[in-house]
Amino acid sequence: MNGPLINVWRGFRSLVSGMRITLQQFFKPNVTVQYPHESIKMPERFRGHIIFVRDPDSGKSLCIACKSCAKACPSECIVVDGVKREGEKKKSVTEFKLDFTKCSLCGSCVEVCPADALRFSKEYNLASPTKGEYVEIDLVRRLEADKP
């Protein structure tokens, strides 16, 4: 006879414990974000796709087309090309394409860059019905389009 009463008592204790937790959570403020109308602030350490850092003096990219980022990339998703223009000391980047569909966001390219020309973006809501937009992201063209 003790067995069924013990089971009832344990079940009642479990029910009271669950209701106590539910009531505590019920009176806490909501953490839901109404997505299309509101967005959350991304943490400083968030890693989106890579982007160029703009030179504050000239407004161009700091990239010197050394290709160390392409060599360091384990996914082989970076293509870099550049030319040495007359009158300049270093090479200038003419092509920098990123295949974001392959990128693992490891950060090797950002860490190895000797000119500190790359950083992670804070863009997080990249959505598209096709992957074509992300197969070749041209960072040179994006930097020129986002002129200040």
> For residue 24, what pLDDT is reported?
93
Please tell me the pTM assigned to this model. Answer: 0.68
pLDDT in tens, the chain (148 residues): 578 889 999 999 999 999 999 999 999 988 888 888 988 888 888 888 899 998 888 888 889 999 999 999 999 999 999 998 888 888 889 999 999 889 999 999 999 999 999 999 888 877 788 888 888 888 888 888 877 6
> For residue 70, what pLDDT is reported?
94
In the chain, where the domains are located: 1-31, 50-145
Which amino acid makes up residue 48? G
The CATH number of 50-145 is 3.30.70.3270
